[in-house]
Copies of this chain bind each other. A is one copy, B any other.
Amino acid sequence: MTAARDTSSETSATPAKPAMRDALVAAAFQLFLERGYEQTTIDDIVALAGVGRRSFFRYFPSKEDVVFPDHEQCLADMTALLEASEDGDDAVARVCDAARLVLRMYAENPVFSVQRYQLTKKVPGLRTYELSVVWRYERTLAEYLRARFSARRDGTLRADVIASAVVTAHNHALRAWLRAGGEGDATAGVDHALDYVARAWTPEQSPAAEAAEEDEVVIVITKRSTPMWRVVRDVEAGLGRG
């Protein structure tokens, strides 16, 4: 988040990002990390940033907000993505895509994300605030699914449950990546987790059943004790590759 965006006139659709906002975030995190969140007052932050105290609350409605400076934008992106969805495509898949949007935001600034994770992990107030942020994502997904499932029996229930499952799976993988220090590929873990829940909630299209409908199908039967390299070799052979 401390990464330099445009400080002058912005050309994109986003309503321009003042330099003072970035300066406040940078000053806040510097102090939060070196002396703790609760031990840092707003006066400390504005003194380090060299701005007036009143300006802080112009850019952040509360002290907690400075820790999550980009979620508002991400939420808007998610809403836009879902609104751009068409009636034909799979609703659960779209919701998973929307969740990946959040992951991308975290992955764009690994260092910042890990620092924030360290903070939210140990400060109860920040944890609670994060819950309210996550809740807004979840409600956005749920509202989208509710509209798609409105005709279905138990449609709203299904929408709420799938939304929460998707969010939970996403956060499960995201936190694993954050615990690892932001090293490695975050996408793979999230894809796996999202697949896990998507598979559970689209049973009519379980992988085996779906594949069986296609004509180009390969069936592999093996024992658990078989060495992995040998399984891979047989699968490749069955697929006509390798």
Cross-chain contact B172 with A156 (CB below 8 angstroms): yes
Q: How far is the CA of A61 from the CA of B153 in the complex (A)?
A: 43
A199 at the interface (CB under 8 A from B): yes
Q: How far is the CA of A240 from the CA of B225 in the complex (A)?
A: 11
Cross-chain contact A224 with B218 (CB below 8 angstroms): yes
Residue of B nearest to A128 (CB): B132
- Closest Cβ–Cβ distance, residue A241 to chain B (whole Å): 7
Cross-chain contact B217 with A223 (CB below 8 angstroms): yes
Given contacts A207-B221, A221-B207, contact A172 B165 (CB under 8 A): no
Main secondary structure of the interface of A (DSSP, over half): helix
Please tell me which one of the listed residues B196, B212, B235, B236 contacts residue A161 in the complex, with CB atoms under 8 A apart: B196
Please tell me which one of the listed residues B160, B216, B222 contacts residue A218 in the complex, with CB atoms under 8 A apart: B222
Q: How far is the CA of A203 from the CA of B154 in the complex (A)?
A: 19
A232 at the interface (CB under 8 A from B): yes
Q: How far is the CA of A86 from the CA of B74 in the complex (A)?
A: 44
Q: Which chain A residues (119-175) contact chain B, with CB distance < 8 Å?
A: 127-129, 131-132, 135, 154, 156-158, 160-161, 163-165, 167-169, 172-173
Given contacts A128-B129, A161-B196, A168-B161, contact A223 B231 (CB under 8 A): no
Q: How far is the CA of A223 from the CA of B161 in the complex (A)?
A: 29
Cross-chain contact A208 with B208 (CB below 8 angstroms): yes
